[in-house]
Amino acid sequence: QLQLQESGPGLVKPSETLSLTCTVSGGSISSSSYFWVWIRQPPGKGLEWIGTNDYSGSTWYNPSLKSRVTISVDTSKNQFSLKLSSVTAADTAVYYCGRHRGGSSSFDPWGQGTLVTVSS
Amino acid sequence: QSALTQPASVSGSPGQSITISCTGTSSDVGGYNYVSWYQHHPGKAPKLMIYDVSNRPSGVSNRFSGSKSGNTASLTISGLQAEDEADYYCSSYTSSSTWVFGGGTKLTVL
C-alpha cells in the first residue's frame, strides 16, 4: 500500500524559502502512470493546489504561485520536494503531498500533512 | 484561477440523503469530466471519495455518488451516518492545465 510522508521545518522566517520533502513508500516514484502533487490548506481556509511534477521532470504550477515555487523529483531517494521562496505569513498552511493518477482527476493517496508557520 | 463554489455547510439526519454542489465554469467543471471529491476529517489526510465525476475508488461506500450537469457537479451521500460528518471538497481540472478546489463544505450529521 502506497504511503506518503511530508517532512521539513515547521517554522520559516518571512522572506526565506520553505522547503518540504515527501517520502514515498510502498511503490516507485518512477511510474509513468502517476504524477506527484503538493496541496496546501491555510488555517480556516480551503484546499489550494500548488503544483504537480511527473517523474520525468515536467511541471505544472498554480499561476498565483508560479514565480516562487519549484517541485522536483528525486527518483534515487523515492522522494519529491517543494520549494517556495520569499514566503510571507500568507503562506502559513498545512502542506500535503499526494499522488495524482495521470489521465484522471484522482489525487490518492495523500500524506498526513505538515503545518508550516511563517513567522519571525 | 477562482475557487469552485460550494455551500459553506449542509446538514442532515442519520439515514437521510444530502447533496453538495460544486459550481464552476465552462473552463473547468463544465469543460472536462475531471471532477473529484474529497472527505476531510480535521487532522487527517483528505480521502478520495469520487473521481472523474462519478467513479468510486475501491473501498469507498456505495452510499457516495457523484454527477455533473453543465457547470455544476454534485456529491450525494445517501443513508447518512455519523461517521460521514466531515469537510468535503470538490476539485476540477481547468483549461489552463491546472487544478482548482472548491472552498469546502462542512457536513453536519444531526
- Our CA-based measurement puts residue B78 at a distance from the nearest CA of chain A, in whole angstroms, of 22
Looking at residue B9, the DSSP 8-state letter turns out to be E
| Mean pLDDT, all residues of chain A | 95
pLDDT score of A31: 85
B contact test, residue of A3, A34, A36, A47 with most B CBs within 10 A: A47
One-letter amino acid of B21: S
pLDDT at A57 over 90: no
Beta strands B72-77 and B64-69, pairing class: antiparallel
pLDDT score of A32: 86
**Residues on chain A touching B92 (C-beta within 8 angstroms):** 105
Query: Which of A37, A46, A61 is the closest to B103 by Cβ?
Result: A46
B101 and chain A in contact, CB less than 8 A: yes
User: pLDDT (tens digit, 9 = 90+) per residue, B32-58?
Assistant: 999 999 999 988 999 999 999 999 999
**Residues on chain A touching B35 (C-beta within 8 angstroms):** 105
Q: Which residue of A has its CA nearest to B3?
A: A48
Q: Which residue of A has its CA nearest to B45?
A: A112
What's the pLDDT band for B91 if we cut at 50, 70, 90?
Answer: very high
CA dist A91 and A84 (Å) reads 9
pLDDT score of B69: 97
One-letter amino acid of A22: C
| Mean pLDDT, all residues of chain B | 97
Cβ–Cβ < 8 Å for A51, A37: yes
What's the pLDDT band for A50 if we cut at 50, 70, 90?
Answer: very high
**Residues on chain B touching A112 (C-beta within 8 angstroms):** 44-45
User: pLDDT (tens digit, 9 = 90+) per residue, A93-106?
Assistant: 999 999 999 889 99
Four-residue CA torsion sign, B97, B43, B107, B14: positive
Cell numbers at B58, concatenated: 475501491
Count how many pairs of residues, chain A against chain B, have C-beta atoms within 8 Å: 68
pLDDT at A112 over 90: yes
Region A76-91: mean pLDDT is 97
pLDDT at A55 over 90: no
What's the pLDDT band for A66 if we cut at 50, 70, 90?
Answer: very high
Judged by CB atoms closer than 8 Å, whether chains meet at B104 and A46 is answered as yes
Cell numbers at B42, concatenated: 480535521
pLDDT score of B1: 72
Region A27-31: mean pLDDT is 90
- Produce one character per residue of B41-59: b if its CB has 16 or more CB atoms within 10 Å, e if not: eeeebbbbbbbbbbebeee
B3 and chain A in contact, CB less than 8 A: yes
pLDDT at B64 over 90: yes
Cell numbers at A114, concatenated: 505538515
Judged by CB atoms closer than 8 Å, whether chains meet at A107 and B44 is answered as no
